[in-house]
């Protein structure tokens, strides 16, 4: 099994003018194709900085990051935007759905940016919504859906480009316990189907749903044993 993403010696330093803050201090991380990894850490641990680099929203100050065989460490913003749209499916805590658009139109958006023809966009968006159990909600707007259903729309949007990596940032943070269970079950189904998932969380119960748990503290990673299947 090959590594889908690999970080070697990744550092991230922020220059505030008066002082330099080292958010990541030499991170080494490999995630294999088809893995399900939770990255867990408290506020101020470097978790958000790591997520931004994993999601190609930022680049390291030092070290290398390879995603799907491509070194993205020194890409331009335009190149990073292309990687984000084609290789990464994002699931956010706040759902980030456009309230004026139907579920179908929200899921279509990444394909619009990718220049996919309208008929193909519609077909792929409908299939993605079917896969997350929302085939009967395609014409509903976010305000007409529960929190759990909105997050399922977000997952469908993440899937629609057939990305190499699904990156979920605190995906259950705004959900009640029943909806949290439903969304985590959906991640398990995606993992069982061969999807590679990296889940960022501060909740131990959510992290334990993953196959591996990696902890970040003061910009450094540590890893326990894999969670039994």
Quote the CA–CA distance of 166 and 43 in Å, as a whole number.
22
Over 80: is that where the pLDDT of 180 sits? yes
| pLDDT value for 124 | 96
pLDDT in tens, 72-107: 998 999 999 999 988 999 999 889 999 999 999 999
What per-residue confidence (pLDDT) applies to 225? 46
Task: With H, G, I as helix, E, B as strand and everything else as coil, classify residue 189.
Answer: helix
Average pLDDT on 192-199 reads 95
Residue 14 CA to residue 9 CA, distance in Å, equals 16
Sheet with 212-217: list strands edge to edge: 88-92, 165-169, 197-201, 36-40, 212-217, 220-223
pLDDT at 15: 86
DSSP 8-state code for residue 101: S
Residue 23, pLDDT score: 94
For residue 59, report the phi and psi dihedrals to the nearest 5 degrees: -120, 155
At residue 125, the pLDDT reads 97
Output the pLDDT for position 19. 87
Q: Is residue 218's pLDDT more than 80? A: yes
User: What pTM value is reported for the model?
Assistant: 0.90
Tokens 């990073």 belong to residue: 80
What's the count of helices (H) and strands (E) in the chain, helices before strands?
A: 7, 10
- Given a contact cutoff of 8 angstroms between Cβ atoms, the answer to whether 97 and 106 are in contact is yes
**Is residue 226's pLDDT more than 80?**
no
Taking the C-alpha atoms of residue 20 and residue 211, their distance in angstroms, rounded to an integer, is 35
Lowest mean pLDDT among 10-19, 50-59, 105-114, 123-132: 10-19
* C-alpha torsion angle, residues 110, 113, 114, 119 (rounded to 10): 80
CB 35 within 8 A of CB 10: no
Q: What is the mean pLDDT of the chain?
A: 92
Domains, the chain, with CATH or none: 34-59+75-212 (3.40.50.300)
Share of the chain above pLDDT 90, in %: 84
Confidence of residue 224 (pLDDT cuts 50, 70, 90): low
The mean pLDDT of 63-79, rounded to a whole number, is 93
pLDDT tens per residue, range 15-54: 877 888 899 999 999 999 999 999 999 888 999 999 999 9
């Amino acid at each position: 099994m090959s590594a889908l993403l690999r970080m070697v010696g990744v550092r991230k330093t922020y220059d505030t003018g008066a002082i330099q803050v080292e958010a990541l201090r030499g991170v080494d991380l490999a995630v294999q194709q088809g893995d399900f990894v939770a990255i867990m850490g408290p506020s101020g641990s470097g978790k958000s900085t790591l997520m931004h680099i994993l999601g190609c929203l930022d680049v390291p100050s030092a070290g290398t990051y390879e995603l799907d065989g491509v070194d993205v460490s020194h890409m331009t913003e335009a190149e990073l935007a292309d990687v984000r749209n084609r290789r990464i499916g994002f699931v956010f805590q706040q759902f980030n759905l456009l309230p004026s658009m139907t579920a179908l139109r929200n899921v279509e958006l990444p394909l619009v940016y990718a220049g996919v023809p309208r008929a193909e966009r519609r077909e792929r968006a409908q299939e993605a919504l079917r896969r997350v159990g929302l085939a009967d909600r395609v014409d509903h707007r976010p305000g007409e859906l529960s929190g759990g259903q909105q997050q399922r729309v977000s997952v469908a949007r993440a899937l629609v480009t057939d990305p190499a990596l699904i990156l979920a940032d605190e995906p259950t943070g705004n959900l009640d316990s029943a909806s949290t269970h439903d969304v985590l079950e959906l991640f398990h189904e995606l993992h069982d189907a061969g999807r590679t998932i990296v889940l960022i969380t501060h909740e131990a119960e959510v992290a334990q749903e993953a196959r591996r748990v990696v902890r970040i503290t003061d910009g450094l990673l540590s890893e326990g044993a894999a969670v039994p299947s």
